[in-house]
Amino acid sequence: MTEPLHLHSPLLRAAPGLFSHPEVWLKMDALQPSGSFKLRGVGLLVQRAADDGATAIVCASGGNAGFAAAWAAQALGLQATIVLPLSSSAAVAEKIAARGAEVLRHGAVWDEAHAYAVGLAQQRGAAYVHPFDHPLLWQGHASLIDEVVAEGLDFDAVITAVGGGGLLCGIVQGLHRNGLGHVPVIAVETLGADSLSQSIKAGVAVTLPAIRSIATSLGARRVADEALRLAQTHPTLSLTVSDDQAMAACIRFADGMRVLVEPACGAALAAVDAYPEILSRFKRPLVEVCGGMAVSLATLGAWSAQS
């Protein structure tokens, strides 16, 4: 196995006044080469596929995992086919294609793109790269906790956005392998993309009938079974915010930290001030700034107008 494809991302204290909480720390995975945390797990999964002899990969994604897969494939000299649902923008498709990947469109939502991509991988004899539900992904994502621990930060909670649940799985795995199984995870979703929240309330995995949120990166209609299991067994607080709150947090973050992030990432940022009574329990919360490759000044303005 070669060196990891992801970077050891910066660990920064939030700018004064960015949050009402006096001490919030930021794990800046928005600064990964792929624009999001996805390169941690996707990079490891693609590397393992290459080690096992794969010459081509297929990935179904709304954007971030597909871009990370294309980035990793290009770095390792593999052919990449990324299947996007019709809900993904033309700009996302162009960015992925610019990384040398074949970009196909199939299905109205990710679930349909995924089913098609799995069949395509089998047909072509390519390795399938799942965007959130694979143990190697979780192992790769866990590295973000390893890095924070290595820097000596004494954090007492981790705040993260949840889509399909792969990042949640990685964070919990990282906490446990560093002897921090007692540290709670605050799992945040936008209303309309809150499959984990609804599943926790129901006690079983819930499949949303549709995604009704601008945070399309959180648009898995059903979280991974492992994510639900961990949310039920590891200390976890499941919270939801509105699209308006997520977008406002993105804009504040751009002003305060000079970094653009997608509304999915804004959900985690928004929770700090949306739930002050919960955050006040913690002295030094850590926010996973997961990023997003689809964001730009133009899209940030457009999302803000929609929310």
* Cα–Cα distance measured from residue 238 to residue 221, given in angstroms and rounded to the nearest whole number: 16
Q: CA distances (Å), 101 to each of 104, 125, 133, 255, in order?
A: 10, 17, 22, 34
In this prediction, residues 298-304 reach a mean pLDDT of 79
* Cα–Cα distance measured from residue 33 to residue 147, given in angstroms and rounded to the nearest whole number: 17
CATH 3.40.50.1100-classified regions of the chain: 11-37+138-306, 39-128
The one-letter amino acid at 295: V
CA torsion sign for 32, 17, 297, 263 is positive
Q: What is the secondary structure of 265-288 as a DSSP string?
A: HHHHHHHHHH-HHHHTT-SSEEEE
**Confidence band (pLDDT; 50, 70, 90) for 197?**
very high
Q: What's the pLDDT at 213? A: 86
234-278 tens-digit pLDDT? 999 999 999 999 999 999 999 999 999 999 999 999 999 999 999
**Confidence band (pLDDT; 50, 70, 90) for 210?**
confident
In this prediction, residues 19-26 reach a mean pLDDT of 97
Q: What's the pLDDT at 27? A: 98
Residue 292 has pLDDT above 60, yes or no: yes
69-82 tens-digit pLDDT? 999 999 999 999 99
* Cα–Cα distance measured from residue 109 to residue 83, given in angstroms and rounded to the nearest whole number: 11
212-241 tens-digit pLDDT? 888 777 678 899 999 999 999 999 999 999
Residue 307 has pLDDT above 70, yes or no: no
The listed CATH number (3.30.420.10, 3.40.50.1100, 1.10.10.60, 3.40.1080.10) that belongs to domain 39-128: 3.40.50.1100
**Confidence band (pLDDT; 50, 70, 90) for 32?**
very high
Judge whether 227 and 169 are in contact, CB under 8 Å: yes
Q: pTM for this structure?
A: 0.95
43-95 tens-digit pLDDT? 999 999 999 999 999 999 989 999 999 999 999 999 999 999 998 899 999 99
162-185 tens-digit pLDDT? 999 999 999 999 999 999 999 999
Name the fold adopted by 11-37+138-306.
Answer: Rossmann fold (3.40.50)
Q: What's the pLDDT at 122? A: 97
In a 3-state reduction of DSSP, which class is residue 193?
A: coil
Residue 1 has pLDDT above 60, yes or no: no
CA 80 to the chain's CA centroid: 20
